[in-house]
Amino acid sequence: MIEKALKGNRSYWAWVALLLVCIGIGLSAWGRQMSLGLGVTGMGRDISWGVYIAQFTFLVGVAASAVMVVLPYYLHNQKAFSKIVIVGEFLAVSATVMCMLFILADMGKPQRVLNVLRYPSPHSMVFWDVMVLNGYLLLNLVSGWAVLGAERKGVAPPSWTRALIYLSIPWAFSIHTVTAFLYAGNPGRHLWLTAVLAPRFLASAFAAGTAILILISFILKKTSGFDAGREARQKLTVLAAYAGVANFFLLGTEFFTAFYSNVPAHMHSLQYLFFGLDGKGQFVPWMWLSLVTGIASVIVLLVPRLRSQTGWLLFACAGLVFSIWIDKGVGLIIGGFIPTPLDEIVTYMPTVTELSVTLGVWAIGLLLLTMLLKVAVAVKTQE
Amino acid sequence: MNQQRREFLKKAGLGALAGLGAAAGIIPTFALEKTDPSGFPSKPVPGKVRWGMLIDTGNCREGCSACVAACHFTHNVPDFSGTKNEIKWIWKSPYEKAFPTSSLQFPSHDLEEREVLTLCNHCAEPPCTKACPTEATFKRWDGIVSMDYHRCIGCRFCMAACPYGSRSFNWQDPRPGIAEYSKTYPTRERGVVEKCNFCSERLVKGQEPACVEACPGKAITFGDLNDPSSRIRVMLGENETVQRKPELGTLPSVFYII
């Protein structure tokens, strides 16, 4: 089946070539990081996680959002999703691979990564995250590939795929819950030390991930003529809208608890991110941009007259993804470190090397997604 | 001929060594070096040692950093300019930075200017060891929160988990930052986390921690918190003491007289 990814028109190969160039840039930057150490990044003693872990967190959400098409199709027999299910599953595969690569890029000693398996430590949330992410990757890759293979041969998918798919539904929730627990269990990091972190992760994931699926379905329609269906997109739009509402509602509850209780430790990170603290506020414009874009996008998605127009729908989906990417990919992870345990405000600026590695990992994920979707579209359109 | 003979002897010698090693592993009585696992139970056993430290901040002299210098020399802690790649095991912090959650309304002039020593608290309930996915950082039987630099994967989870900012990461090769090498403690590689070890390498030799020894004001008392007759316990009984962020339930083993 994979040979179908090796046939394509000029623009397909141009896109692949562009991704390969980005991967090359990423690899050379990673080589520099491996030879000089993580000091070449903007991270430091106080802000000890940066862009890599933030991208990881955002992408776990993208991976988990496959459940938004798998669940209605397989559990509720929503036929409208029949064409887009495979897109969701392959998006999950690519996003999970990117997650793992970002973790590797962030490690000081990536050559020792197997220590996580050699000395299994169930008291550590990282151990569970490694387990659930690898499991989720296998579940989606195997079931997606097997169902597609059966479709190519014109036979019913083997019955064991059903079991894997059912298992993948709670598993999707688990990957983002465990990822939230990585942060939510640390004493002294008050932005993360909140019980609504896991629910908010799920809400933002289902909003951004579903919006990405809608965008991908438009790209596929334009580039390959494969249409996942207007009805599928409409249903996904509603799901994204309500997930977005849930996300901003949960963010609102964070603000209420912090500012009404007036407990300084609970307020400090939010103050720093949204208003500035002690005259410093590196991320204030970003956070407001995220908030305004996100809420505007959700409103567009909620108004039937607007969301039924392709232009508005594209704007709203892109806006929602952008908003949640800033919120999770910039604010939440880096903001969690400020103020530091010694009550200091430290700034963080990613370096060119760090951004190049990030570009490279995204390019690897996009290349994988491109090839997987090429195969899927070829099978679906009987090329 | 001679060359072949030499090769043979080399290989035979290696084989014999390998055989010995294998035998040592398989037959425990032949073990060349034995580790006693009972020396490392994870939970402190009643009646056993729990090392702790009491810092009398009033006796800590302004402008003096003899303890910091002694510690950082003893443990080959590199000195890099700037805070980004900094590595520190013990350092001085302003009072309000070390105790950000204590009452800071109308502090005395003395307190406003006081600097206190900050280091790893060797918590009885350490959040860092819980976060570590490889047991590279772990609590010893004697309460010391220790590091295995050879097992650490450099994920920096312990740094996110520590509420005291007591851990440092080797963002670059530390060796160029070491002016003078100490032969009593190994240097580290880039890519691993490190922190204060309560001088466990000195304790086994019956010595006090380097910072305690170096302090000209005798401001640091070190001892066994589980021994009611130890000097540190007597002093804890006689003085008002505080701990950093007690509300987090980490149960630090470092105490302060303000």
In a domain, B103, yes or no: yes
Number of independent structural domains in chain A: 1
Closest residue to A107, CB basis, from B101, B154, B163: B154
Whole-angstrom distance, CA of residue B221 vs CA of residue B211: 10
Statement to judge: residues B116 and B156 lie in one domain: yes
Statement to judge: residues B12 and B57 lie in one domain: no
Whole-angstrom distance, CA of residue B74 vs CA of residue B69: 8
Whether residues A121 and B135 touch (CB distance < 8 A) is answered with yes
Let me know how many helices (H) and strands (E) chain B has, helices first.
9, 9
Contact A250/A258 with Cβ under 8 angstroms? Answer: no
User: Containing domain of residue A212, as a range?
Assistant: 2-380
Q: At residue A23, what are phi and psi to the nearest 5 degrees?
A: -65, -40
Whole-angstrom distance, CA of residue A226 vs CA of residue A350: 38
pTM of the model: 0.90
Per-residue pLDDT, A334: 94
Q: CATH no. for residue A245?
A: 1.20.1630.10
Q: CATH no. for residue B160?
A: 3.30.70.20
Which site among A32, A46, A118, A186 would you substitute to test the B interface, given the most B Cβ atoms closer than 10 Å to its Cβ? A186
Statement to judge: residues B216 and B120 lie in one domain: yes
Statement to judge: residues B27 and B107 lie in one domain: no
Per-residue pLDDT, A213: 94
Number of independent structural domains in chain B: 2
Supply A159's token pair.
């019955």
Statement to judge: residues B157 and B219 lie in one domain: yes
Contact A211/A239 with Cβ under 8 angstroms? Answer: no
In a domain, B183, yes or no: yes
- What's chain B's length in residues? 258
Mean pLDDT of A283-306: 95
Position B104 confidence tier, pLDDT thresholds 50, 70, 90? confident
Helices (H), chain A: 10-36, 51-64, 67-70, 85-106, 115-118, 125-153, 159-184, 197-224, 230-261, 264-274, 284-302, 304-307, 310-326, 333-335, 352-380
Closest residue to B84, CB basis, from A44, A340, A343: A44
In a domain, B246, yes or no: yes
State how far residue A219 is from chain B, nearest Cα, in angstroms: 37
Statement to judge: residues B79 and B156 lie in one domain: yes
Percent of chain A with pLDDT over 70: 100
Whole-angstrom distance, CA of residue B221 vs CA of residue B210: 12
Contact A43/A348 with Cβ under 8 angstroms? Answer: yes
Whether residues B85 and A44 touch (CB distance < 8 A) is answered with yes
Percent of chain A with pLDDT over 90: 78
Complex prediction ipTM: 0.90
Contact A251/A259 with Cβ under 8 angstroms? Answer: no
Position B23 confidence tier, pLDDT thresholds 50, 70, 90? very low
What are the pLDDT digits (tens) for A61-92?
A: 999 988 888 888 888 888 888 889 999 999 99
User: Containing domain of residue B169, as a range?
Assistant: 44-257
In a domain, B39, yes or no: no
Which site among A45, A99, A104, A263 would you substitute to test the B interface, given the most B Cβ atoms closer than 10 Å to its Cβ? A45
Contact B111/B95 with Cβ under 8 angstroms? Answer: yes
Position B2 confidence tier, pLDDT thresholds 50, 70, 90? low
Statement to judge: residues B185 and B206 lie in one domain: yes
Contact B226/B49 with Cβ under 8 angstroms? Answer: yes
In a domain, B118, yes or no: yes
Q: Looking at chain A, which residue has its C-alpha nearest residue B195?
A: A45
Statement to judge: residues B55 and B27 lie in one domain: no
In a domain, B209, yes or no: yes
What are the pLDDT digits (tens) for A86-137?
A: 999 999 999 999 999 999 999 999 999 999 999 999 999 999 999 999 999 9
